[in-house]
A and B are shown apart, each in its own frame.
Chain A
Amino acid sequence: MEAGVRPLPKMNYVAPSSLKEALHLLKKYKGKARVLAGGTDLIPKLKKRMIKAEVVIDLNRIPGLSGIRMQKDGLHIGALTRLAEIKESRLVREKAPVLFQAIGVMASPPIRNRGTLAGNLCTASPAADTAPPLLVLNASVRLQNTDGKRVVPLSEFFRGPQDTVRRADEMLTEVIVPVQKGRSAFLKLGRRKAFTLSVVSVAAFARVRGGKFEDLRLALGAVAPTPIRSRKVEEALQGKEANEENIARAAELVKEEVKPIGDVRASEEYRREMSSVFTRRVLAQVNGRGYNESAI
């Protein structure tokens, strides 16, 4: 079969007007239906026949699914909140700046005007740029179906490339981002200066007290089957002096934790090397020194 984009397959379309209705439809159609949020990933994949769907369930008419609210346990970001809206939000910029930073160098404005945070997470590309920031912030996602809801930490959400723990009849309705004091930063390496997939991406969060790393978290994207937290690096630096030497040593460790592949964007070896370079750079940004470098 000829590859590439072709006219969309004949499929049915429903546009539920409530979350309850949407969940019932999901249960009814199970694997045969796909939800349509931003469409920036679903539509091209349907055109290329990489995804099959008999029914498309358009979520865009459901009220109450988008919005950013500050609650006791952190920022609650509705599933249908557009990436552009998250980027423009003062709440996000103040309370979760690393997420704001990542979205700013992700895709491009027209894509961000439609793409959603939930979509980026559920698509589960190993290179999803919102994942490393949310991982270092210890975010979780709320999954709902007709039987009820559950909250899953994002660190347990991804299973593999394009694979998550979300069941076919579940919908991701909310992302919960704990708000915490500390420094954070996001960096990505791309093959050109904008509008490009990450070859390697990193996010870090840390509190530095008395010159020592407290509560350091490091996450990487595009270097493993899923976005990952680098526990080895975190353990190695926990409680240690936030200096160049320690950071460099830790950055060497990260090479053991990543499991990159070689593809059209980069070779395995290059990704491994770059995961180390960017680990060092992002840690340098949260250790109290350079904070204002551009993210790409």
Chain B
Amino acid sequence: MELEYLEEVKKLLHGKSYKVVGTDVKRVDSLEKVTGVAKYAADYLMENALRIRPVRSPYAHAIVKKIDKAAALKVPGVEAVITAEDVPGENQIGYLVDDQPILTTKARYVGDIVALVVARDERSAWEGADRVKVEYKELPAIFDPREALKSDIRIHEHSKYAAEVKIVKGNADEAFRHCDVIVEKTYRTGSQDHAYLEPEAAVAIPTGARSVNVIGTTQNPFRTRHTVARVMGWKDSEVTILTPYIGGGFGGKDTYGPLICCLATLAAMKLGKPAMIVYSRYESFAYRFKRGPFEIRYKTGATKDGKVKAIQVNHLVDAGAYATWSVGFTKRAAYHATGVYEIENVTVEGAAVYTNNLPNAAFNGFGNPQMLFAAESQMDLMAEALNMDPVEFRLKNALVPGSRTGTNQLLDHAVGIKELIQKVADQADWKGKRAQYGSEPKGTKRRGIGVGCSWHGCGTTGFKRDWAGASVIVNPDGSVSYSTGIVEIGQGTTTSHAMMVAEVLGIPFEGVKVDVNNTGTMPDSGETHAQRGTIIGGTAAVDAALKLRKRMNRLVAEMWECSEDDVAFENGETYNLKSPKQRIGFQDLAWEMYMKGVPPAEYGFIKARRGFPDPETGQGDPYAAYTFGCTIAEVEVDLETGQVSVLRLIPGVAAGKIIQPAVAKGQVYGCGMLGLGYATTERVLRKEGRMLNPSYTDYLIPTIKDMPEMADLVVVEDEYKFSGFGAKGVGEIAFIATPLAIANALKQALGIRFYDMPLDMEKVYFAIREKKRNGSRS
């Protein structure tokens, strides 16, 4: 990714304005989705496919002593019961830490899978699962990370910690001594369920004795492929993952994709027949890995001129039973702990600890919603202490081009946050509303306005693999076939890729067809997460298209005996800039390539432009670039019931070049509602490791009537030089900022600050009552 792709592209296009990129096109998946022919994993129904039902531990911590399959095998229709000893390869699906078996002999969370029942139909599979007799030796269990640190109970032999991270920049201790204002608070954030409409599913189809095709709900076909191969004891090349349409991911199918595909494959290969597993909604809620709860102790110090000089942060994360992605989000939270501000002295220490709760894993924001809740609440508290307006205070400390982050990464460009904050504040009439709500007559409903700023590094956290591939093929008839390793999970990224390819090749958007994700025809492209689909995946697309385009330029230059630099491609035609009458249609040019033996296809491959921070000091460049967000929220709270209504959201993003404006807007709207849910109505209720509300009835995601008024999206296009067209990522940034803004708005409305999420109505009600009883006035 060392090439300055933005510049390359602009040069190639002779500085002309884009014809495709930045416009609104019909997404490549639109037709299939609105006509209902789009197939998701569970739609690949095959007549002879076996059905699978897991047998799960009812205990949070227990050793599996014996599994009696006899009664289950007697159920008509049941063909096999698979347990740990039947795993042909390595019984290991650990994501970053090798601590997680696919079929376990020691249950570490309620729902840990100990066996699979495979049957000819769904009903028999359920009955078979009921009849598998498992003898457990129950062990004492731990559900609280603080307790886990003190306890002798070992969930894993190798460590109590699933992850640790440390950041040291400057000298925070020393700096605090010179601060005029210091605020230190402890924050707690709850879990959250992805609650996407499509439950997890996978179907595995044997294609030979040592080969399988798997169609499953995954956000990472290549990791999935590798994990399946590992479990089977095969090579990567022997497993093919064909990714279907995905009905919502948000990170949930990132961690869970490999798991569900392994289950299907084990069954299919054991019996030599296609096998399908589809989770029920209950399973999806009760057993799929969710957002990790954080406890954050955050200390901020500033001088009286309003400059934040130091922060000291300690965060403790409940990793749950297996590490899965804890390394990632514990580190990401640390790298972003400063918030969008330049702070010279930073100390962060974080750890994720094993408990017998459900493993916590990837979810939109990935540690940032938690950490930035603390950071942005602190900023408001500091502003209060310094008697400064919250927006003014943020502007005074915001990152600018040339700033260094908490990990000492130099951000020399693509830093649009300051401009963004100002624009969003203007759009929201911040000063006016802040004054208005601050002085409204006190009735039973109170309003407030608050601001939240977010940032999110684009790219995979925690380890060095952050690459992507793409393939562009010009067919003899001039149509273009494009393939990527990035998955379409609803975010429209593959359309962005196709647009960028079309722009570079100078053809109409409709000329590019995006093919199905097939791991067999694409280099490993990493995961579809962490806002990397466009900035890294898309740059691979541009890489391929550029290489191909340059080759075509050379061919044309030879044909016309002109300079390569004078060759222009526009609207499906190629012409000589110096002598425009010299033209050839793209179709004819394609044919020429074949006739002349000029390779008509190209692969792109990009490795993200970033390093791997020092393990002791956390200093380094963990991400290629950062997207910035700022949301202002207006809320109304009902003092008699504690209900918090979000009246209006004014979102803004600085995400580099926006490839698809309408799609970016859609992302932001969706993220706004996700944030609203996280901040107000969504609670994961647990007792001793068991989820108490595993249904849409009791896990409340916002309905259409819970919508606030959404203001027009504010956009700052702070282009990133090293990505195709200067795009960064936009999939998570608007979600992260939303709950922060809501919490700060609630403070103005109520005069009470909450230090834990969510701000659910009971909690708010009792806090109001407590305040009244203590006689304080707001």
Q: Do chains A and B touch in the complex (CB under 8 A)?
A: yes
Chain A positions near chain B (C-beta within 8 angstroms): 1-7, 10, 189, 191-197, 264-267, 270, 273-274, 277
Provided the pairs A7-B126, A197-B697, A274-B641 are in contact, do residues A192 and B706 lie with their beta carbons within 8 angstroms? Answer: yes
- What chain B residues lie within 8 Å of A265 (beta carbons)? 698
The reply to whether A264 and B698 contact each other, CB–CB distance below 8 Å, is: yes
State which of A1, A5, A273, A277 has its C-beta within 8 Å of the C-beta of B280. A5
The reply to whether B700 and A196 contact each other, CB–CB distance below 8 Å, is: yes
Asked if B281 lies at the interface with its beta carbon under 8 angstroms from chain A, I say yes
- What chain A residues lie within 8 Å of B122 (beta carbons)? 6-7
The reply to whether B703 and A7 contact each other, CB–CB distance below 8 Å, is: no
In the complex, what distance in Å separates the CA atom of A253 from the CA atom of B694? 36
State which of B281, B703, B765 has its C-beta within 8 Å of the C-beta of A4. B281
A213 to chain B, nearest CB (A): 22
- What chain A residues lie within 8 Å of B698 (beta carbons)? 264-265
B644-687 toward A: CB 8 Å interface, digit per residue (1/0)?
Answer: 01000000000000000000000000000000000001000100
- What chain A residues lie within 8 Å of B697 (beta carbons)? 197
The reply to whether A6 and B126 contact each other, CB–CB distance below 8 Å, is: yes
State which of B286, B640, B706, B765 has its C-beta within 8 Å of the C-beta of A194. B706
Task: State how many residues of chain B have any CB contact under 8 Å with chain A.
Answer: 35
- What chain A residues lie within 8 Å of B769 (beta carbons)? 273
- What chain A residues lie within 8 Å of B761 (beta carbons)? 191
- What chain A residues lie within 8 Å of B643 (beta carbons)? 189
In the complex, what distance in Å separates the CA atom of A266 from the CA atom of B681? 12
Interface residues in B256-299 (C-beta closer than 8 Å to A): 280-283, 286
Offer 23 A-B interface pairs, CB within 8 angstroms, sorted by A.
Answer: A2-B56, A2-B126, A4-B281, A4-B286, A5-B280, A5-B282, A6-B122, A6-B126, A189-B641, A191-B681, A191-B760, A192-B700, A192-B703, A193-B703, A194-B703, A194-B704, A195-B705, A264-B692, A264-B693, A265-B698, A270-B762, A270-B766, A277-B640
Report the nearest B residue to A276, measured CB to CB.
Answer: B640
Asked if B129 lies at the interface with its beta carbon under 8 angstroms from chain A, I say yes
The reply to whether B641 and A192 contact each other, CB–CB distance below 8 Å, is: no
B34-73 toward A: CB 8 Å interface, digit per residue (1/0)?
Answer: 0000000000000000000100100000000000000000
The reply to whether B641 and A193 contact each other, CB–CB distance below 8 Å, is: no
Interface residues in B721-778 (C-beta closer than 8 Å to A): 760-762, 765-766, 769
In the complex, what distance in Å separates the CA atom of A160 from the CA atom of B700? 27
Provided the pairs A192-B700, A194-B706, A273-B765 are in contact, do residues A4 and B126 lie with their beta carbons within 8 angstroms? Answer: no
Identify the 10 closest CB pairs spanning chains A and B, nearest first: A4-B282, A194-B705, A193-B705, A264-B693, A194-B703, A277-B640, A193-B706, A192-B700, A270-B762, A4-B280
In the complex, what distance in Å separates the CA atom of A10 from the CA atom of B286? 26
The reply to whether A192 and B702 contact each other, CB–CB distance below 8 Å, is: yes
Report the nearest B residue to A105, measured CB to CB.
Answer: B705
In the complex, what distance in Å separates the CA atom of A193 from the CA atom of B705? 6
In the complex, what distance in Å separates the CA atom of A276 from the CA atom of B473? 70
Report the nearest B residue to A9, measured CB to CB.
Answer: B123
Asked if B130 lies at the interface with its beta carbon under 8 angstroms from chain A, I say yes
| Further contacts, 9 of them, CB under 8 A, given A3-B286, A191-B761 | A6-B126, A6-B280, A7-B123, A189-B643, A191-B700, A193-B706, A194-B706, A264-B693, A277-B641
In the complex, what distance in Å separates the CA atom of A10 from the CA atom of B704? 37
- What chain A residues lie within 8 Å of B703 (beta carbons)? 192-195
- What chain A residues lie within 8 Å of B126 (beta carbons)? 2, 6-7
- What chain A residues lie within 8 Å of B762 (beta carbons)? 266-267, 270
Report the nearest A residue to B693, measured CB to CB.
Answer: A264
In the complex, what distance in Å separates the CA atom of A202 from the CA atom of B706? 22
The reply to whether B129 and A2 contact each other, CB–CB distance below 8 Å, is: yes
In the complex, what distance in Å separates the CA atom of A1 from the CA atom of B282? 13
B517-550 toward A: CB 8 Å interface, digit per residue (1/0)?
Answer: 0000000000000000000000000000000000
Report the nearest B residue to A277, measured CB to CB.
Answer: B640
Most chain A Cβ neighbours within 10 Å, of B645, B693, B704, B761: B761
Most chain A Cβ neighbours within 10 Å, of B130, B681, B698, B762: B762
- What chain B residues lie within 8 Å of A10 (beta carbons)? 123
The reply to whether A5 and B281 contact each other, CB–CB distance below 8 Å, is: yes
The reply to whether A264 and B765 contact each other, CB–CB distance below 8 Å, is: no
- What chain B residues lie within 8 Å of A277 (beta carbons)? 640-641
In the complex, what distance in Å separates the CA atom of A273 from the CA atom of B766? 10
In the complex, what distance in Å separates the CA atom of A265 from the CA atom of B762? 10
In the complex, what distance in Å separates the CA atom of A194 from the CA atom of B703? 7
- What chain B residues lie within 8 Å of A274 (beta carbons)? 641
In the complex, what distance in Å separates the CA atom of A1 from the CA atom of B128? 11
- What chain A residues lie within 8 Å of B281 (beta carbons)? 4-5
Report the nearest A residue to B765, measured CB to CB.
Answer: A270
In the complex, what distance in Å separates the CA atom of A43 from the CA atom of B762? 32
- What chain B residues lie within 8 Å of A194 (beta carbons)? 703-706
Report the nearest A residue to B643, measured CB to CB.
Answer: A189
Most chain B Cβ neighbours within 10 Å, of A4, A265, A267, A277: A4
The reply to whether A2 and B130 contact each other, CB–CB distance below 8 Å, is: yes
Report the nearest A residue to B126, measured CB to CB.
Answer: A6
B56 to chain A, nearest CB (A): 7
State which of B56, B685, B704 has its C-beta within 8 Å of the C-beta of A264. B685
In the complex, what distance in Å separates the CA atom of A277 from the CA atom of B639? 11
In the complex, what distance in Å separates the CA atom of A288 from the CA atom of B643? 26
A25 to chain B, nearest CB (A): 26
B696-712 toward A: CB 8 Å interface, digit per residue (1/0)?
Answer: 01101011111000000
In the complex, what distance in Å separates the CA atom of A270 from the CA atom of B130? 39
In the complex, what distance in Å separates the CA atom of A17 from the CA atom of B703? 39
- What chain B residues lie within 8 Å of A196 (beta carbons)? 700
Report the nearest B residue to A195, measured CB to CB.
Answer: B703
In the complex, what distance in Å separates the CA atom of A189 from the CA atom of B760? 13
In the complex, what distance in Å separates the CA atom of A5 from the CA atom of B693? 14
- What chain A residues lie within 8 Å of B640 (beta carbons)? 277
In the complex, what distance in Å separates the CA atom of A197 from the CA atom of B693? 13
- What chain B residues lie within 8 Å of A270 (beta carbons)? 762, 765-766
- What chain A residues lie within 8 Å of B56 (beta carbons)? 2
In the complex, what distance in Å separates the CA atom of A277 from the CA atom of B700? 23
In the complex, what distance in Å separates the CA atom of A2 from the CA atom of B702? 28
In the complex, what distance in Å separates the CA atom of A94 from the CA atom of B704? 29
In the complex, what distance in Å separates the CA atom of A29 from the CA atom of B620? 74
- What chain A residues lie within 8 Å of B280 (beta carbons)? 4-6
In the complex, what distance in Å separates the CA atom of A64 from the CA atom of B639? 49
- What chain B residues lie within 8 Å of A192 (beta carbons)? 681, 700, 702-703, 705-706
B133 to chain A, nearest CB (A): 13
B763 to chain A, nearest CB (A): 10
- What chain B residues lie within 8 Å of A6 (beta carbons)? 122, 126, 280
- What chain B residues lie within 8 Å of A267 (beta carbons)? 762
A194 to chain B, nearest CB (A): 4
B254 to chain A, nearest CB (A): 23
Report the nearest A residue to B701, measured CB to CB.
Answer: A192
Most chain A Cβ neighbours within 10 Å, of B645, B685, B692, B700: B700
In the complex, what distance in Å separates the CA atom of A193 from the CA atom of B703? 7
Report the nearest A residue to B766, measured CB to CB.
Answer: A270
Report the nearest A residue to B706, measured CB to CB.
Answer: A193
- What chain A residues lie within 8 Å of B123 (beta carbons)? 7, 10
- What chain A residues lie within 8 Å of B129 (beta carbons)? 2
A12 to chain B, nearest CB (A): 16
In the complex, what distance in Å separates the CA atom of A14 from the CA atom of B491? 47
- What chain A residues lie within 8 Å of B130 (beta carbons)? 1-2
In the complex, what distance in Å separates the CA atom of A192 from the CA atom of B692? 18
In the complex, what distance in Å separates the CA atom of A6 from the CA atom of B130? 12
In the complex, what distance in Å separates the CA atom of A6 from the CA atom of B53? 11
